[in-house]
Amino acid sequence: MGKPDNKPAASSGYSSWREMPAVPVSVPCKGSIGATGEWRTFRPVLDAEVCIKCGICYLYCPDGVIIYKEESIPEIDYTYCKGCGICVTVCPKKALGMVREQE
Ligand code: SF4
Ligand code: SF4
């Protein structure tokens, strides 16, 4: 296992999760103040036409709410997605963008 460099995938040149060092992936659940999806003011949306199914967004999501199976387009669990935008930042193809939540 290589030493983690703590750089975002987009700037470190990873093209797939397979090139990244091993990282723990958490499982989302309801906390004492409810589901984290209620915190969101912006939500990530994925353009399936642009996504290359690399899985990097899945590994970087701090809440483990991106559901990814190899060779498939990731899905986002909006019940727990808190809208932090990290997935948008690390996507090497800019397949993810943030849109404001509707009132
Ligand atoms: S916005 Fe944050 S919590 Fe939501 S899917 Fe992206 S990385 Fe995960
Ligand atoms: S949304 Fe971006 S980071 Fe996620 S699998 Fe698709 S191309 Fe990779």
Ligand 1 centroid – CA 21 distance (Å):
20
Residue 9's CB is within 10 A of a number of other CB atoms, namely 21
pLDDT tens-digit map of 19-74: 878 777 677 777 777 788 988 999 999 999 999 999 999 989 988 999 998 889 99
Ligand minimally distant from the alpha carbon of residue 96: 2
Ligand 2 centroid – CA 44 distance (Å):
12
Average pLDDT of the segment spanning 85-103 = 94
When pLDDT is cut at 50, 70 and 90, the band that residue 1 belongs to is: very low
List, chain by chain if needed, residues with CB within 6 Å of any ligand 1 atom. 44, 61, 63, 65-66, 76, 81-87
- Whole-prediction pTM: 0.79
Residue 47's CB is within 10 A of a number of other CB atoms, namely 13
Residue 100 phi/psi, 5° resolution? -65, 140
